[in-house]
């Protein structure tokens, strides 16, 4: 009986890894970098319990580009963008609260708290405020940052962003992954991701009421074949942002969720275009 119980438990964990961890598996297949060779890492303390670890490259006196990863993720997801930074900028990629080398290590489901991790990097250089680039949940968080710090954000590049509350669903396997002993059997990043995503619908409901407050220019880029964050999120953003701030709206017909790596040249072009806007 014990042998069958062990087999059933292992089978269930594997199922959860294939569902909750589907994104992680795809990350592996796409060979997304987990290191940024030669790129310095530093950290900034926000308070007694919150520290943000980040990678930085490029001209330290130039205007900034700040890259914010999704869920799960790490600063090194943006390795290609800091190993070969866009010329004329300082490029920074952060570990969000709960991931990588930032602290605390546990989940932080509050979008306002996650946006607080970006605040220390919002500095003006040569009369220009930082461009924030966010992928997936990172796209959601940079919208929150633009609302909370409206005079300190120069623009947003939202890649496969999750903004529409009506499109968020807590699936059975997410609840199962958070039940009893299951979190102890899953990788920490998966548990952290699951616990920050389960309350996301309520967070998005509050955020959606304030999207009209964003005043900086925005680039919205989404893959039509995105199976993780439906492309309807892009339409939701265009409908809720003020028309005059939408600098770019691109739905890429043959692309999926993993835009920072599958269309890197397009992402770089969009960042440059947004930064050049007067």
Task: Report how far residue 212's alpha carbon sits from residue 138's, in angstroms, rounded to the nearest whole number.
Answer: 19
For residue 134, give the nearest of 142, 146, 126 by alpha carbon.
142
Asked if 100 and 77 touch (Cβ cutoff 8 Å), the reply is no
Q: How confident is the model at residue 26 (pLDDT cuts 50, 70, 90)?
A: very low
Residue 27 has pLDDT above 90, yes or no: no
Select the highest-mean-pLDDT range: 3-7, 11-15, 148-152.
148-152
What pTM does this model have? Answer: 0.90
Mean pLDDT of 99-127: 96
Q: What is the DSSP pairing of strand 90-94 with strand 51-58?
A: antiparallel
Higher-confidence residue of 206 and 183: namely: 206
Residue 164's pLDDT is what? 98
CB within 8 A of 188, min separation 6: which ones?
Answer: 105
Task: Report how far residue 82's alpha carbon sits from residue 67's, in angstroms, rounded to the nearest whole number.
Answer: 9
Q: Which two tokens stand for residue 219?
A: 């680039």
Asked if 242 and 213 touch (Cβ cutoff 8 Å), the reply is no
For residue 56, give the nearest of 42, 68, 44 by alpha carbon.
42
pLDDT in tens, 209-263: 999 999 999 999 999 999 999 999 999 999 999 999 999 999 999 999 999 999 9
Buried b (16+ CB within 10 A) or exposed e, 179-207: eeebbeebeebbbbbbbbbbebeebbeeb
Asked if 125 and 64 touch (Cβ cutoff 8 Å), the reply is yes
Q: Which two tokens stand for residue 226?
A: 């995105």
Look at the block and give the residue holding tokens 């919150």: 50
Domains identified in the chain and CATH numbers: 2-276 (3.40.50.1820)
pLDDT in tens, 51-81: 999 999 999 999 999 999 999 999 999 999 9
Asked if 148 and 118 touch (Cβ cutoff 8 Å), the reply is no
Task: Report how far residue 199's alpha carbon sits from residue 114's, in angstroms, rounded to the nearest whole number.
Answer: 14
Q: How confident is the model at residue 278 (pLDDT cuts 50, 70, 90)?
A: low
């Amino acid at each position: 009986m014990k042998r069958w119980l062990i087999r059933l438990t292992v089978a269930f964990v594997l199922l959860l890894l294939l569902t909750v961890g589907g994104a992680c598996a795809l990350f592996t297949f796409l060979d997304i970098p987990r290191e940024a060779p030669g790129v310095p890492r530093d950290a900034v303390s926000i308070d007694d319990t919150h520290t943000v670890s980040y990678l930085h490259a490029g001209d330290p006196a130039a205007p900034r580009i700040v890259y914010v990863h999704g869920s799960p993720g790490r600063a090194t997801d943006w390795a290609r963008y800091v190993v070969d930074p866009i010329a004329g900028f300082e490029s920074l990629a952060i570990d969000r609260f709960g991931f990588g080398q930032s602290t605390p290590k546990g989940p932080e489901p509050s979008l306002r708290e996650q946006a607080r991790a970006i605040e220390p990097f919002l500095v003006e250089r040569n009369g220009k405020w930082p461009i924030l680039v966010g992928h997936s949940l990172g796209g959601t968080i940079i919208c929150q940052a633009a609302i909370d710090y409206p005079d300190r954000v120069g623009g947003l590049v939202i890649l496969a962003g999750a903004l529409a509350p009506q499109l968020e669903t807590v699936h059975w396997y997410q609840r199962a992954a958070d039940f009893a002993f299951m979190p102890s059997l899953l990788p920490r990043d998966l548990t952290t991701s699951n616990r920050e995503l389960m309350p996301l619908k309520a967070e998005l409901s509050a955020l959606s009421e304030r999207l009209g407050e964003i005043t900086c220019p925005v680039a919205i880029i989404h893959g039509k074949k995105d199976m993780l964050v439906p492309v309807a999120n892009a339409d939701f953003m265009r409908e809720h942002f003020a028309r005059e701030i939408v600098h770019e709206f691109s739905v890429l017909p043959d692309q999926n969720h993993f835009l920072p790596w599958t269309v890197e040249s397009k992402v770089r072009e969009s960042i440059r275009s947004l930064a050049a806007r007067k």
